[in-house]
Amino acid sequence: MSTPLVEAVETVEAPDAPARRRRGWRSPSFLVGAALLLAVLALALVSLLWSPYGLDHTDPTARLAGPSPQHWAGTDRLGRDQFTQLMLGARTAMWIGLASVAVAFVIGVPLGLLAAAAGRLAENAVVGVIDIVIAFPTLLLAMLLVTVYGASTAVAISAIGIGVSAEVARLTRISASRVFTQDYVLAARTCGTGPLMILVRHVLPNIWHTLLVQAALAFGVAVIAEASLSYLGLGTPPPAPSWGRMLQEAQSTVSVAPWNVLLPGLAVAVTVVGVNLLGDGLREVLDPQLRQERQAGER
Amino acid sequence: MLSYLIRRVAWLIGSLFVAGSAVFFLLRVLPGDPAVTLLAVGSSPDQIDAIRHQLGTDRPVLAQYGHWLGDLATGNLGDSLFTQLPVLDQIAGRLPVTVPLALSAFVLSIIVAVPIGVFAAVRRRGLLGVAVSTLAQLGIALPIFWVGIMVVWLVAVQWRALPPGGFPRTGWQDPGAAIQSLVLPVATLTIAQGSVLVRYVRSATLDVLSQEYVRTARSLGYSLPRALWRHGPRNGAATVVQILGILLASSLLGTVVIESVFALPGLGSLLLASVKARDLPIVQGTVFLMTATVLVVGLVVDVVQRLVDPRLRGSA
């Protein structure tokens, strides 16, 4: 059966034999992914201390100006510096991405473990709920919440977090159930180890790498979701900058200032490609079993 | 098969019930009074009471819940708060835009992406194969509305080949104009859906390629394309059906964003406008219908999977 989030990306092809031995942390997708993500993260962190202009600074003499030494990424129709907006937008994206993934894991992991550890009845109930939440798309959930509470960062984080949590719960349940059928779990049970101890000692150590990869991929999903919500006017409200809203504002001036559309889109793409590659790399690094399977499959 | 069908339909009805309940409770039971958020600051208590009455929130929660479920079961989704028109009529009025958009993007992305995905798998080490995979990965990472804006910029602004957005007021009475205004939205949605599909097809094909039966067929003298054609569809069918289900559902949802990019008067823009106007009955009804569609597609997928793959029929 396919697992949408996980299968959406794949490992790069197995390199030649000598390179294969040197693999590990030097996996190319891990390195490239980490570099891309670190660049965006650096942009976000630097913006906490310094940005070329203030958030509200407008330059009326340079509206819709192209990239120049004064405005590295040009200006928008109000004369706001786009590089400043990009930096602050990176901060929003990183923050909402991290917070949504945290929400998704706080909800999803215990739910998945519960389904795997408890009896059949509880498992069916949880699986049913997961199926429905998966069928209930994040965007629609966000729209429901915004209707009642208005657009806010908290609503965006909750909606994205709950939406992603279903996938996290599903994956946790599947990986944990696999561990529960192992002989060493049976042995531990025979020795009288309680269910909680089994979870901590045997299940979590065997599934955390899968979950970490999932966290990376979920982060990418969250960044795109945040940009989409902001684009639709349902995300973080102004004045907090967001790549999605930059795109929405730049759409009407695309004929005169196409670079204003180009750059925020690239920023989203760099972030998402970055975490996806990072996820691939992590999977190669952390899961030797999968690595061998893949290599066998490649032959 | 029949008993499976009955069980699966019962499951669907249960899911619809849960989804309907979720929509209701998310909107009503969480703190916050919809009537107060709906009105401007400084509204008189009478106005608030009037809205409460219209929304039905002056009745006990359980009574409201029963009413909502009863309405759902009879296919009544209530009236819009602002236009007073039945929600179902408003939704029906938007379908001539959304359904052709979603379906043609769905069909087109299959036509385009399946051959490309198989090619990328067979030529996975070649330059072109790697390029295709990389492009698909980029297509997944780019926000769909960004792709849309770039397509508008290139085709509508630079080349002036097609209208940048909008839909003829007369709808499908002028089919030429209607089709013209749907070309760019469909193309954008196809790029987004196709990228996802290319990766699925590629990994499914890689899976089939590594199977013993392909090796056997090859050793019997079948060429690779013939071996794939002989064994691939039958073995990969169940997975493909599942992927198509996901794709159909996401095409439908993709229209929400696409319609916003191209200013199309479809279901998605109705939903978005209602969210912004806080027209609760429309939001509630549209979200429920979209979720229900996704659930029904899920049912069809499960049933078709069993039809095409006898191996699945044994399991419960």
The predicted pLDDT at position B245 comes to 85
Cα–Cα distance measured from residue A273 to residue A271, given in angstroms and rounded to the nearest whole number: 6
Closest-CA residue to B312 (of B243, B249, B242): B242
Number of domains into which chain A is organized = 1
Please indicate, yes or no, if residue A121 is contained in any of the structural domains.
Answer: yes
Nearest residue of chain B to residue A265 (CA atoms) = B146
If you average pLDDT over residues A160-181, what whole number do you get? 88
pLDDT at A108 over 80: yes
In a domain, A287, yes or no: yes
Q: How far apart are the first and last CA of chain A?
A: 23
Q: Is A219 on the interface with B (CB under 8 A)?
A: no
Read off the pTM.
0.84
Number of CB pairs, chain A paired with chain B, less than 8 A apart: 155
CATH number, position A95:
1.10.3720.10
pLDDT at position A6, please? 43
Q: Alpha-carbon distance A257 to A267, whole Å?
A: 17
Taking CA–CA distances from A275, the nearest residue in chain B reads B141
Q: Which residue has the higher pLDDT, A2 or A247?
A: A247
Query: Considering the domain boundaries, does residue A4 fall inside one?
Result: no
Cβ-based contacts of A13 with chain B (< 8 Å): 124-125, 130
Question: Is A105 in contact with A215 (CB distance < 8 Å)?
Answer: yes
- What's the token pair of residue B216? 């056997």
Could you tell me what percent of chain A has a pLDDT over 90? Answer: 15
pLDDT, tens digit, 9 for 90 and up, residues A217-254: 899 999 999 999 999 988 888 877 889 888 888 888 87
**Cβ within 8 Å, pair B200-A137:** no
Comparing CB atoms, the residue among A8, A143, A296 nearest residue B287 is: A143
Does residue A68 lie within any of the structural domains?
Answer: no
Of A131, A140, A269, the CB nearest to B287: A140
In chain B, whose CA is at the least distance from the CA of A220? B141
Question: Is residue B146 less than 8 Å (CB to CB) from chain A?
Answer: yes
Q: How confident is the model at residue A145 (pLDDT cuts 50, 70, 90)?
A: confident
Q: What is the value of ipTM here, to two decimals?
A: 0.83
Task: Determine the pLDDT at residue B33.
Answer: 62
- Is the peptide bond between B233 and the residue preceding it cis, with omega within 30 degrees of 0? no
Contacts of A261 in chain B (CB under 8 A): 146, 149-150, 153
Comparing CA positions, the residue from B201, B207, B198 lying closest to residue B136 is: B198
Residue A125's nearest CA partner among A138, A112, A137 is A112
Maximum alpha-carbon separation in chain B = 84
Measure CB to CB from residue A139 to each of B14, B26, B253 and give the nearest one: B253
Which pLDDT score is estimated for A287?
A: 67
Q: Quote the domain boundaries for residue A196.
A: 36-52+73-298
d(CA A36, CA A41): 9
Choose, out of B149, B244, B282, B294, the residue to mutate when testing the contact with A (most A CBs < 10 Å): B149
Residue A15 inside a domain? The answer is: no
Place of tokens 């289900």: B245
Among B137, B145, B283, select the one facing A143 at the smallest CB separation.
B283
Residues of B in contact with A228 (CB under 8 A): 143-145, 257
pLDDT digits (tens, 9 = 90+) for A14-68: 555 444 444 556 677 888 888 899 998 988 888 888 777 777 777 777 776 777 7
In a domain, A270, yes or no: yes
Sign of CA dihedral A45, A46, A49, A55: negative
Q: How many CA atoms lie within 13 A of A61 on its CB side?
A: 2
User: Is A244 in contact with B143 (Cβ distance < 8 A)?
Assistant: yes
Which pairs with CB-CB distance under 8 Å and at least 24 residues apart come from A16-23?
Answer: A20/A295, A23/A284, A23/A285, A23/A291
Tell me whether residue A282 is in a domain: yes
Nearest to A144 among B196, B200, B283 (CB): B283
A261 and B144 in contact by Cβ < 8 A?
no
Q: Is residue A58 part of a domain?
A: no
